[in-house]
Structure 1
């Protein structure tokens, strides 16, 4: 994977070495070697941290558990995925408020490099009782040639807003020509149908992560205001609406307005206490699209409704 590899030699006292050896032998047994992986709280880095802390009598946790870092799990997740915008956006969408709580230096050691840094600072009683560094020596086995990740997440809020406004504007423009231009109608159908399908399926995934899994970091995800299973109804109603069905148009307009209302609510609740999820990028991406879809579909329904009414009136007169 082209990752740097370091070795730290630890000055563990003999009793700690024996205890660590016994633990590792126990851990390698078939019934103990597998564990319920958690990407933040129980991974390959935290397992090393916990094993060392165990044989050091809790010295590492005592030193780091109350030390603030000024970061969150999301901070590091975004920082480490900044080189892949799709993964960055997917994790931004899927992870809920649980990853936005401040973490301590102890919790930050879910990252191997943070574990390496903290272990460097630990001291233990030496042979004469004086404190000595836990790390006796350190060397690099392999230095990665890959570009190191940034120290902080990128600020892409403007990019998400621009993309959302661009798509929303395209929907409005295509919708205004859809009735009399086949190409515009096709483009309108692709954009609105594609957005409805994407938002609906993503909403189902988020709801499933919350209700059907133990991925608690995805629970109570405010992004359900922005991508909701209700959007799938828009896909079902869209073909009829494009053919001019008044019933389908009415349903599509109502659905689009409901989705826009949910998106606006999702933005407004950020003003209330308890809604602290860092999902501004998703809001500024989705809300303009919902607004564009609602404006275009409602306008199409408003234009078609009087015409449908006139046709109905003519039919009534003809029957007389």
Structure 2
């Protein structure tokens, strides 16, 4: 497994390899969910590339950029065992050698709701770094495949829309959310949880499952019932000591609320809530 730090080094390494890359971007602190994406990407390209970069641009000033876990040695060992060919691990000065004053502004109709509402500027930071990573990884080959997890559902949709609107030669493939045996979605931030909080954390996925069940039961009347269903779901979590940001039912196609007369739309239930000092997100396709 080759480790490269700069964009020129990455492009030079890929130029020596025939075919098209498959790419899995990460911020490190890898868990089984990341490794599942790496295994999924392995047969989708001729060279498997994974990046490790904690992107300052997608963190708000009060968020955990400085304390975000960096587990370099363990991450490299896991990627090597998973069959990764190249690890692109730029330092901040490598990826942003000067202030990144040019930034991508995603469609507010998709990016300013849900996560974008509670974390303003988050998706602009995500799109900017992903565009730069795509430029670095796919420059030599003219295109390839990138794998993103469904756990960050809105992020996946924003990236897909960006690729479509800029006509990038990249196929974005979705990977299913990896879960612990009790149903908790795997996340790098789960490591922040105390033992008691970890036992409680599964309640987010259980709340989403209950909301999904109620949404299905509501049938054509879902648009009318939805505000009350969402409020009840948030109140139930709050009663357990959580601080919910949202628990909601949206259309998979555009993350807008289901509309009257649009029965049969594929739906997704999404939630974000803070447990102690840790903010967790999850979703379930209905």
TM-score by length of structure 2 reads 0.24
Greater helix proportion: 1
* Larger RCO of the pair (alpha carbons < 8 Å, separation 6+): 1
TM-score by length of structure 1 reads 0.22
Greater strand proportion: 2
